[in-house]
Structure 1
Amino acid sequence: MDYYAIVHNDFDGTASASVYARAVNSLPRNIWFTEPTKLHEVLARLELRGVNRVMIADLGINDSTFQYILDSIRKLRGEGAEIQWFDHHVWKDDWKTKLQEAGVQVFHDVSTCGAGVVNKNMNPEDEVSRSLASADCSVDIWLHNDPLGEKLRRVVENDRSYEWKRKLMETFFNGILWNEEFDTILQTRMEEELKGYQRIWKYVKVLDLEGTKIVVAIRWNGPPDISYASQFLMTRTGAQIFASANGKSISFRSNSIDIRRFAVRLGGGGHPLAAGASLRIPFIYRLLRRLGVTGPALNWVAKEVLEVVKKEGIVKYERRTTKN
């Protein structure tokens, strides 16, 4: 079967594409690994070239780009495309309604990860897909209930290149979830992470907002990645909220607070416990950061985070367990 795949540029996106490929017994003719903020651009450039099915997975929607997405979807549908969209991020009801009215098959379920949505709707009896989705969900929606997830995430995100993700998708498609190459990568990553934990403190600031601690960080080079660092720093400081900025964007994490509200306030989105948005640090602070002076940038980000948390308030997150 010929189709195109457009998925998130992370473990969940790669796993979603792999599960779908197993369900239709075919790898995509082409695949795009992208971000929610770039989805409208990918769709606008997409040319069918004889391919009539497009699958989109693990890509949420932002208010600022929805109309562009809808316009491109309508154009592709007018050219004869069959479009399936699998997602687990928080959506507005009218997004789903308008996409369905445009002819999109929408599979939306906030109780699982992207690969879980694909697995539940396309091939629920496939054991390989179930195992991959379980591992993926464990880390993507912060369940932390499948040890394979902690290992596979490190392997998948060891290399963010297209070639690596395509190779992994083909490996998973063939029913292989672990091999000797993955073992070597995992060992190297773990050694690098242990060294990284010792040096990230100089990129961190801890705030206290009426008894709620917030860890703010300026992104560092190398491991640990943001998800593992956030858990480490929140545990070590007793914080409930983690925010990390890389100069152009900001990511939020928590184990108990609905931090998606903060991302939405900044024009972004994501999961209730893991979300992000655009946030451009002023040029002079970014320049100083490149020169090794992190204080000004860190202080600026801390001020922005404090303001958005004050405006949105701190709301506990209640995990949903039913299909939306």
Structure 2
Amino acid sequence: MDYYSIVHNDFDGTASAAVYARAVKSLPKNIWFTEPTKIHNLLEKLELRGVKSIMIADIGMNENTLSKVLENCKRLINEGAEIQWFDHHVWKDEWITKLSDTGVKVYHDVSTCGAGVVHKIMNPDDEFSSKLASADCSVDIWLHNDPMGEKLRRIVENNKDYEWKKKLIEIFYNGTLWNDEFQKILEDQMDAELKGYQKLPKYYRVIEIDGKKVVVAIRWKGPPDISYAAQYLMTRTGASVFVSANGKAISFRSGYIDVRRFASKLGGGGHPLAAGAGLKIPLIYRILRKIGFVSPANRWVSNVVRNVITQVGFYEYKPKDITTH
């Protein structure tokens, strides 16, 4: 079967492509790793070249690019393409309806990860795909219920290069979940992360909002990454929400609070338990941060966070069921 894969450039996108390949018993003729903010440009340039099937997975929809996505999906379908779109991000019902009306087969389920949606629809009886999707969902939607997820995420995102992700899809397609190469990468990553945890106290503070603790951090260089630091600091401080800012953007994480509401208030979005938005820290605080004075930037971000959470409130995340069109 000849088909194209278009997926997010992270663990979930990689896993989604592998699960789909196992379901159709064929690797894609070509694969693209992209972002929701760039999908419309990719579709606009896409040429079928004799390939009639396109799978898109773990790519959310943005309102400001919707019209271009619809236009290009309609063009490709008119040229003979069949498009399947699997996703788990939060969509408006009207987006799903409009995309379905162009002829795209949409599978939407916010209770799982992208690979989980593909697995449910395409090959629910494949044991290996079940293991891969479980590991992926554990870290992608912050379930943290499968130790393999913490290991594989480090492997996939250790290298951002196209060839590395393509190689991983082939490894997963052939039914290998772990090997000696992965073990060596994991050991090196863990060594770097353990050293990184020692520097974190300089970069975060804990504030209290409506009786709940919130960790606010200014981004540091190097490991650990945001997700692992969030888990560590929330556990250490007893916080319900972790927030980090890098000068241009802000990220929210939680184990049970719907943080997408906070990101949406700031014009962003994402997953219910892991979301983000643009947030430009004033220049003076960014300069101070660069020369080693982190506290002024942290106080400024903390004030923003306090205002947003106070306005929005804390809501526990309750997963919804699958939507298929």
Q: Same fold (TM over 0.5)?
A: yes
Deviation at 1:109, TM superposition (A): 1.4
1:8-157 alignment to 2 at 5 Å?
A: 8-157=8-157
Cα deviations by residue, 1:10-59 (Å, 9 ceiling, x for unpaired): 11111001111111222222222222222223223323333222211111
**Distance in 1 separating the partners of 2:51 and 2:265:** 38
Aligned-pair CA distance for 1:263: 1.4
State the match for 2:205 in structure 1: 205
Q: 1:294/1:35 Cα in 2 relative to 1: closer, same or farther (>3 Å)?
A: farther
List per-residue Cα deviations over 1:98-152 (Å, max 9, x = no partner): 1110100111112221111111111122222111111111222222222211211
CA distance in 1, matches of 2:308, 2:287: 25
**Structure 2 stretches lacking a partner, 5+ long:** none
> In the TM superposition, what is the alpha-carbon distance from 1:164 to its structure 2 partner?
1.4
Q: How far has the Cα of 1:65 moved from its partner?
A: 2.6
1:46 and 1:245 map into 2 onto residues whose CA distance is: 35
RMSD: 1.8
Kindly provide the CA deviation profile for residues 242-276 of structure 1, in whole angstroms up to 9, marking residues without a partner as x.
Answer: 11122332221111211111112222222211112
Show the counterpart of 1:323.
Answer: 322
Aligned to 1:189: 189
CA contact (8 A) 2:23 2:122 kept: yes
Could you say if the C-alpha distance between residues 222 and 175 of structure 1 is closer, same or farther in structure 2, counting changes exceeding 3 Å? same
Conserved 8 A contact 2:2-2:52 = yes
8 Å CA contact retained: 2:143, 2:255: no
Partner SS for 1:252: strand
Residue 283 of structure 1, CA deviation: 4.2
Please tell me whether residue 277 in structure 1 is matched to residue 297 in structure 2. Answer: no
1:259–1:272 contact (8 Å) kept in structure 2: yes
Aligned partners of 1:144, 1:39: CA distance in 2, in Å? 29
Q: Secondary structure at the match of 1:217?
A: strand
Distance 1:82 1:148, change over 3 A: same
> Residue 313 of structure 1 aligns to which amino acid in structure 2?
G
Task: State the partner residue of 1:248.
Answer: 248
Amino acid at match of 1:306: R
**Which amino acid in 1 is paired with 2:177?**
L
Tell me how far apart the structure 2 counterparts of residues 143 and 162 of structure 1 sit (CA, whole Å): 27
Residues of 2 paired with 1:74 and 1:66: CA distance? 12
- Give the secondary structure class of the aligned counterpart of 2:38: helix
Tell me which amino acid in the other structure corresponds to 2:72.
S
Q: 1:150 to 1:290 in 2, by over 3 A?
A: same
Return structure 1 stretches of 4+ with deviation > 4 angstroms: none
- Letter of the structure 2 residue corresponding to residue 52 of structure 1: K
Alpha-carbon displacement from aligned partner over 1:169-220 (angstroms, at most 9, x marks no partner): 1111111111000011111111111111111121212222232221111222
Q: Please state how far the C-alpha of 1:84 moved relative to its aligned partner.
A: 0.7
Q: CA deviation at 1:290?
A: 3.5
The 3-state SS of whatever aligns with 1:37 is: coil
- Structure 1 residues 305 and 36: CA distance shift in structure 2, 3 A: farther
CA distance in 2, matches of 1:149, 1:163: 21
In 2, distance between residues paired with 1:72 and 1:299? 45
Checking the alignment, whether the CA contact within 8 Å between 1:12 and 1:140 is kept in structure 2 is: yes
What amino acid is the match of 1:41? N
Identity %: 66
Q: Is the 8 A contact 1:62 1:269 kept in 2?
A: no
